[in-house]
Amino acid sequence: MSIDIRYLAGFIDGEGCIEIHRNKRGKDYFNLRLDITQVYKPVLASIQKDYGGYLIRSHGPRPNKSSRWYVEWSGEKAKDLIKLVLPYLIVKKKQAKLAMKFPYVRRGGDPRVRHRYSIEDRKLRKSIYTQMKKLNRGRKKT
């Protein structure tokens, strides 16, 4: 089964989450994430096959319930996929537009070399994190 980009956009609108993940290891570290959660694995497996990402089984406490699955993209891969679906999004269009402003330092050459963000980029990343959190407030994450 090949997944059309418009179908994927609708799926993200209904079952997806566009967020900035904050990891507090010393200094604030922010990372863009896109995930889609669902109990029906085959459709997520098709999405993962066509668009990459990681297909993961959720191990949360859900007695007497079906397993949940999610496919996740992070960093530049998330941003690239959001850019593809952006024209077709309705519900999550504001989050997607905000995600497009989230700066990444393009890595080149040696992957072991950590790239540092400028003070302006760090402030912008934190600001976008705060704005995204407000946009997602009140939305129930599955």
For residue 32, pLDDT over 70 is answered with yes
CATH classification of the domain holding 32: 3.10.28.10
Q: Does residue 124 fall inside a structural domain?
A: yes
Percentage of the chain lying above the pLDDT 70 cut: 82
8 A C-beta contact, residue 17 and residue 135: no
75: region left, alpha or beta (phi > 0 left; psi from -120 to 50 alpha): left
Mean predicted confidence (pLDDT) in 30-49: 94
Element (H, E) at 47: helix 41-51
Q: Does residue 57 fall inside a structural domain?
A: yes
Domain count, the chain: 1
Chain centroid to CA 23: 15
Least confident of 16-25, 76-85, 98-107, 129-138: 98-107
Q: Does residue 69 fall inside a structural domain?
A: yes
Q: Does residue 47 fall inside a structural domain?
A: yes
For residue 101, pLDDT over 70 is answered with yes
Going across the sheet that includes 54-57, the strands are: 16-25, 27-38, 69-74, 54-57
The model's pTM: 0.84
Residue 126 belongs to domain spanning: 5-105+113-136
Q: Does residue 142 fall inside a structural domain?
A: no
